[in-house]
Structure 1
């Protein structure tokens, strides 16, 4: 809200030259093919909307789409996004099918399964990018603080990924505002009050008659240069006050004063006009026809003429628009409760029940003066429709309304539980706990009572730590046993996995859950899921050897049979972990790959983050560190998108030690310890010590490796990386000529190999036996044979390295050279630089000069360019790469053109030719 400048080539706003120049600069970049995002942040009335209008006016040659947050629509998922994308939906059919279906379902254009929020985000990014391919696109979002949560998250997600699409995103955001952190990290332009000179000029432009100098100075000082305040506050002053003195004490915040000014103005208007303004405020879609139908039912036409401008507050053109959001809130606040109910009733009657049933029932709920089961039931149906569109927050809002209107206490408790579950899924944890308390005060049946305990456990698991929610999850599982055995076992599974993540396999909660699993009801014929869960519980309570056969039977079932999406996301994480624990290399590879595929295909990014993490050590063990780095890059993108970046350092812990990168390993260890130890993940320490042991064994610093491995494997009942640390302990102790230090580790590994009975397990155990034996040749040869039958080529190369070292010390230089040369070649090609250097030094000791293998690195490629190059080389199309990395296909194409130029190639075929030598640099 500011006057236009006159006689200026800038044609901008009074006192906003620098802000207008900043917007002009961004527009110029967009027209030249660059993308950008900007948040205009400032208090109410400071002029953000005026600057956004200026941007639209200056956007000649660009296509403009815009939306605005509306406070009353904050719980209607995708409402703001639908408004922004509405003009572009004619291009919906050009999107890839999964994206098209997700967006159509989210907007209620089609029925379908609940779409992933991130698949919806990718669809909107693709839709905007396709529109910008024909003409630069300017996206204007006003009052972003009042966007519904789903729209705000989606638009922030997109704005952070703009690179080469010719798209400009500009947000207007009130400061301070709840939820404004969603846009955190985007470039900001702080909008402050006008300087004193401009503030005086603006004030003088709207005051008629004499303005006392002292009054003017007081107004300028009190408004702090806020343009809307300068325009609105003098309206409430009499001519005498303006001429002789301004001394109205008011301790309200400035936004409150401005809104009160609107309130005072509205109260002077005829009753019909006030009802019209209240109806316009209560119906934020801006539908002129709908508002006019409601106005007839409110008998507004008798004393109000609907013109293009209602008292300078409301404008009718293609849409109904308030002069300012504070005018909207004032129009609603002025009305008493009965008037508001009458307005909502009229809006409900004016809304088409077939075309917009959800908005109709929303108004009916606000028109209700007492409990009403019919409306509550309609709200419940609206919640089902909202959930099917992926609108979990909207579903929660509808269910919350249904709770308030439900007369029957039992039904109210059930609905309160459903609303609490929806609030939890929407991330509104405090609201979920409040509704859970409401449910708890109602008469719940046994099933709902158990589900309430489950919900409380899930909330604690999410908001505090994995370990804090375990007791409630365990309680819920026990109570569900007599009510729903399948759900009980799924709850035990979730509790067990949460406890393992926090404490490792030897934690006290893990033991308690395992005992409960085994003491629960036994089905007649055990499914693969039941075999897996029972096997893990047996392994924890009775030992590795006791549980291994049952776990292996379960794993065979996962490899052989089909899985539903829900079962895949629920059970494959545990199956992936256990395939690694049983050293079952083939199923470890196949099941981790299946989990990643299911999570990717469904867009379940929270599950995908864990799936990628489980996949990385498998790819490293297979000797494909480049693929592991590719997975890690994807994991980083998912972590950024989901806000769960605290898991990302785990990727580096799995990768960097093998590369011999001490600085990067140390950095990952520090980050992991800081992030996860604060969340109750007590097993983090052992995991980081395993990483240190791998690093130091590769670097030949065996005393440090031994100390770290000893710390990582100190608990004999622990599995996971603690078992892998036994391998490092044996190698370090053998090289320090302290075989007695490794005796217990060798026994434990040999026992595990006997129980698992896989080539991978036997190959590892045989290598460890060889390291502590005087006559080791046969052990090494059998280890090489066993590991050669698996995909786990990194361990095969390490066995050749150890065998070559033993042969050289035994004086068999010729045989040693053969093993060491193969080890050096393999380890170098894998990118295991530390171990490769160890092999090179051993070859030198045999009298063979070997240069360090030259791994071609293209320092000019950024990490993202290298990632895109690898995915393109794997045969993925640009849209598929974009979906994998959460960027548009146009950005993928832009990156590939830069990759081709930097590598001196012109096609994907040439790219595949250079990929084997392409190393992802740390830069």
Structure 2
């Protein structure tokens, strides 16, 4: 887009350049900034990126761009960004250094997980910015390879105080869900006056006013369209491009028209440049020579304004590359790929050579397929599962023998699932089954089909899982039990909306083979629970939990997280969820971390650590954009209910609608429980009673016993004594199976206190909850005991319970319950003062986490690894934490931090 000479800036882009200049000022001032430029093709995003890079004085600039033909090559874009910064690789912690070296093929090692690589890239950018600010520019983000998109989005969400600017340019409409939620700047067409001024630069002289107005209107001020579509305009009669389709499509069509007009040799050279995504000029000339094309062929393409070939190949616009690529005949495209494969060094770049050979092949070719399979293995070793899947799919298509072709297709299906693309797996599995019969391969198909069915239809479709489990019984009994467990899990998710699914799943599982591995133990416990009830299943739940190591089996977390609450084990609830998150983070288990974070956040809610829970919920939501299906949104609903804020009804209502439409009845139980909590907190006991009765009408795993406590309280306060007594008896029976944990004893005593109006039970409830690690139930027990004392006109004693309850609720952020406690305190004659925030309370949730970890002796890199922050950001936060705690050094943290 031409620059306005009179201003030295971009024509009509004052608002956009001011935003970019402000971003640079912030980065020079020590802050990190992220921005996504959104606009249609040709809107001027690349010109704005050029402006940013050109004005980044005293800063380093690294750039990359997504390339459509290369979207299947793992780490392509992020490796290009990091290449100039690798001299600082040795400054990273060893696990991150090893992960990045392995991902980039610099050294051998176990396949790294995406989150570890993301943390390594974050650390590398932070280290590079220590000397001077760093500006990272990513153009055409919609064409980034999958792993680069995941990693760069992860980095964008974690930048804070590193003096790094990360700026993306991406097309609208947004097809990149990962970038959703990042700060955006919409780049629209030029204002009419500026569009006319730009048009005048390419159509000088007299121009019929109606023609000018038509061009400006039809291009909607799109700078590239104004420049390119007006080339053929007649000053009196306009131009011949039909006024249909998108601006990008019309511009690409214009480029295609110009390409077709080129001599044949020039077209082929342009196609080779489009297919070779790196812009390697020597490689391009070598391929041209192999094709029998003289370098002189470039002249016509350059004269047509389509490409510039200097030190690198630079297209006029990415749409030129698209037009050249899409407009080529299949035979011509194969010839270009073949030439590029021949001139690509097999030792230095074997994967790109294999990729070119794969698309050059016509018909079956085992040699090429073998090379592609080897490239897939190298991609998997680097953690590039999406790339491995692409290599394997192409390898399978070229494999002549039916058996090996089916094996490679099955391997591709596994890689697709591991990359988060579960929806692509069923079609691949159908192709596998076209191969010759093989029991081992069929077992793999059935196991994978069951896993995909659970991912895609959990809570909705039990029959496919049962069918897969039955077929697996003879092929692989362990896999059969795992699949039966998934079927029972899907039926538990379906809950009240699943009809007879749970009974059918349990009956089928009970007829299947038994086993003592963790999945087998858990399955047996759930069969007992479904057939004989909670009282009998309680000991079986404990035995099953004992069989599942707390620091492993992330695939079973969805169930173990529920069962620790079923057995009222407050210590295990906190410890297991903490260990699960730690294991998922350490392993970089991208697909498992959102679920671990969700269960951990639920435990933190009951521990009274609302801010930390909210932060984990937000992190789980952001990561779910990468991994596919999000974890159950139960924690967010429960947290909103206990906070009692104005957003809770809408959030819970949305959960109810989503649960009903998605067939996940378990979430209806959560929504009912959340509504009961919300109304109990505000003292609306009639509404709480209605919500709790509805929620308790079905035995949702874990949710029912939470709900029974709300039902007892609401029924007693509403004068529904019979309902309260029935709920109490049900709750007490369940608590007795828990083996005497403080949580169970406290819940049983509180239910008895409410129904029997017994002071001794209130005291025991407070004592038992105080002995647990769950501050929220303790505060509620104190509130209820204080209310009872106040109604007995024992005001002084009531204040002794109500005051700590009120302070605890305020500190947690449980505003509804805090207001209720405050009203009771006022009724005792005490003046309720607004809480004056102390130094610790002024800290954010993230600062509190950092302070606790630092107090425990963790180093900045160790804290950063736990919280996915750069060490520099950790240090920046600590500098803010010290004054808030009234200390001056790290040595004083242990005494200052309240654990």
TM category, shorter: 0.7 to 0.9
Residue 166 of structure 2: SS of its match in structure 1?
Answer: strand
**TM alignment of 1:529-608, pairs within 5 A:** 529-558=519-548, 565=552, 568-608=553-593
Q: Give the 3 Å change call, closer, same or farther, for CA 267–313 of structure 1 in structure 2.
A: same
Residue matched to 1:77: 74
**TM alignment of 1:266-277, pairs within 5 A:** 266-267=259-260, 269=262, 271-277=264-270
Residue 394 of structure 2: SS of its match in structure 1?
Answer: helix
Give the C-alpha shift of residue 296 in structure 1: 3.0
**2:645–2:815 CA contact under 8 A, matched in 1:** no
Give a deviation string over 1:428-454, Cα, whole Å, max 9, x none.
455444434444555554555565555
Give the C-alpha shift of residue 63 in structure 1: 0.7
The 2-side partners of 1:168 and 1:838 are apart by 47
The 1-side partners of 2:137 and 2:392 are apart by 32
Give the C-alpha shift of residue 908 in structure 1: 4.6
Q: Give the 3 Å change call, closer, same or farther, for CA 813–389 of structure 1 in structure 2.
A: same
Residue matched to 2:337: 344
The 1-side partners of 2:236 and 2:727 are apart by 93
Q: 2:56 aligns with which of 56, 59, 64?
A: 59
**2:538–2:567 CA contact under 8 A, matched in 1:** yes
**1:454–1:472 CA contact under 8 A, matched in 2:** no
**TM alignment of 1:86-235, pairs within 5 A:** 86-176=83-173, 178-179=175-176, 182-183=179-180, 185-193=182-190, 195=192, 199=196, 204=201, 225-233=221-229
**1:43–1:175 CA contact under 8 A, matched in 2:** yes
Q: Give the 3 Å change call, closer, same or farther, for CA 908–688 of structure 1 in structure 2.
A: farther
**2:218–2:243 CA contact under 8 A, matched in 1:** no
**TM alignment of 1:140-539, pairs within 5 A:** 140-176=137-173, 178-179=175-176, 182-183=179-180, 185-193=182-190, 195=192, 199=196, 204=201, 225-233=221-229, 248=240, 250=242, 253=245, 254-267=247-260, 269=262, 271-301=264-294, 313-333=306-326, 335-428=328-421, 431-443=424-436, 445=438, 448-449=441-442, 451-452=444-445, 455=448, 458-459=451-452, 461-463=454-456, 465-503=457-495, 508-523=500-515, 526-539=516-529
Residue matched to 2:621: 639
Give the C-alpha shift of residue 620 in structure 1: 4.8
In the superposition, the TM-score normalised over structure 2's length comes to: 0.86
**1:33–1:166 CA contact under 8 A, matched in 2:** yes
**TM alignment of 1:740-751, pairs within 5 A:** 740-751=722-733
Give a deviation string over 1:214-251, Cα, whole Å, max 9, x none.
8777766665554444554566x5xxx95875553546
Q: Which runs of 5+ in 1 are unaligned?
A: 918-923
The 2-side partners of 1:250 and 1:611 are apart by 54
The 1-side partners of 2:787 and 2:235 are apart by 98
The 2-side partners of 1:652 and 1:142 are apart by 35
Q: Give the 3 Å change call, closer, same or farther, for CA 916–407 of structure 1 in structure 2.
A: same
The 2-side partners of 1:677 and 1:352 are apart by 57
Q: CA RMSD in A?
A: 4.2
Q: Give the 3 Å change call, closer, same or farther, for CA 807–60 of structure 1 in structure 2.
A: closer
**2:497–2:663 CA contact under 8 A, matched in 1:** no
The 1-side partners of 2:12 and 2:722 are apart by 81
The 2-side partners of 1:493 and 1:331 are apart by 52
The 2-side partners of 1:755 and 1:616 are apart by 26
Q: Give the 3 Å change call, closer, same or farther, for CA 701–346 of structure 1 in structure 2.
A: closer
Residue 756 of structure 1: SS of its match in structure 2?
Answer: coil
Give the C-alpha shift of residue 589 in structure 1: 3.5
| More moved, 196-205 vs 591-600 | 196-205
Give a deviation string over 1:445-485, Cα, whole Å, max 9, x none.
4555565555555555545x522243222221221121112
> In the alignment, does 2:720 pair up with 1:723?
no
**1:461–1:468 CA contact under 8 A, matched in 2:** no
The 2-side partners of 1:506 and 1:678 are apart by 12
Residue matched to 1:921: none
Give the C-alpha shift of residue 348 in structure 1: 1.1
> In the alignment, does 2:663 pair up with 1:673?
no
**1:504–1:720 CA contact under 8 A, matched in 2:** no
The 2-side partners of 1:810 and 1:28 are apart by 64
Residue matched to 2:635: 651
Give the C-alpha shift of residue 87 in structure 1: 0.9
Residue 111 of structure 1: SS of its match in structure 2?
Answer: coil
Q: Which runs of 5+ in 2 are unaligned?
A: none
**TM alignment of 1:747-766, pairs within 5 A:** 747-760=729-742, 761-766=744-749
Number of matched residues?
A: 894
Give the C-alpha shift of residue 21 in structure 1: 4.2
Residue matched to 1:920: none
In the superposition, the TM-score normalised over structure 1's length comes to: 0.84
Q: Give the 3 Å change call, closer, same or farther, for CA 220–549 of structure 1 in structure 2.
A: closer
The 1-side partners of 2:388 and 2:87 are apart by 28
**1:15–1:195 CA contact under 8 A, matched in 2:** no
